[in-house]
Structure 1
Amino acid sequence: MSDEETWTTVTRLHDWLTAHQAVPPGQEVLLRVLKLSEEVGEAAQAVIGATGQNPRKGTSHSWEDVQAELCDVVITAMVALRTLTPDAPEVFAGHLRRVAARSLPGEEPEVP
């Protein structure tokens, strides 16, 4: 799936959620960010389950479960960003370039 297809799908998910979620104006972004926290918790739970760190439950998850939960975190974050701005693809790409420029050797900083 290309970047364009990915963001088209994210927008479709955003639109679907918006159509099925009746909340007062302005609360949609807050709820999407809270959903992100829920997904991060599920990823943490999967890591604990994959490593068997809960003595009561033992090994209750696989590393594939962790992968799926991390994907849910990414998708939820992308939908939250899209909820905040229709320019989400450009905002994300610009931020990724800035992070790469400050973190990776040989990357050029973005010129404003």
Structure 2
Amino acid sequence: MDEHAWNTVDRLHAWLAGSTSRPPQEETLLRILKLSEEVGEVAQAVIGATGQNPRKGTSHSWQDVEAELCDVIVTAMVALRTLTPDAAGVFAGHLERVADRSLSRPAPGGE
């Protein structure tokens, strides 16, 4: 992930930190819980894009789903930054481990 993205995450983290009066531990927990809310919005958008709610019909587009997925990613990045100032390094290391573990195996359903 590029440095600009993590700089923006640092700015968002600072903005949030400066606008709360909650104790740090509570703020951390709430930022992590915020992910559940955002994932729920992805589910709502997928249901809306596929028209699975007969009462609402097709209420969302796949572009709405993309936007909600981006919100999940940003929220997760900010939550990770809340846990550690080295969020970029932690993420890069984890991504590398996932890639090593996954890409060394055949694709699911493959031979």
Question: Shift in Å at residue 3 of structure 1?
Answer: 1.1
For residue 105 of structure 1, report the CA deviation from its aligned partner.
2.8
The one-letter code sitting in structure 1 at the alignment partner of 2:35 is: L
RMSD of the TM alignment (CA)? 1.2
Gaps of 5+ in 1: 107-112
Greater relative contact order (Cα < 8 A, sep 6+): 2
Relative to the length of structure 2, the TM-score reads 0.91
Q: State the 1:87 CA deviation.
A: 0.6
Q: When the two structures are superposed, what TM-score results if normalisation uses the length of structure 1?
A: 0.90
Aligned length: 105
Consecutive unaligned residues in structure 2, runs of 5 or more: 106-111
Alpha-carbon distance in 1 for matches of 2:17, 2:76: 15
- SS of 2:57 mapped into structure 1: coil
Alignment match, 2:109: none
Q: Distance in 1 between matches of 2:5 and 2:75?
A: 13
Identity %: 74
Q: Distance in 2 between matches of 1:25 and 1:8?
A: 21
Within 5 Å, which residues of 2 pair with 1:1-112? 3-105=2-104
Distance in 2 between residues matched to 1:30 and 1:5, nearest whole Å: 26
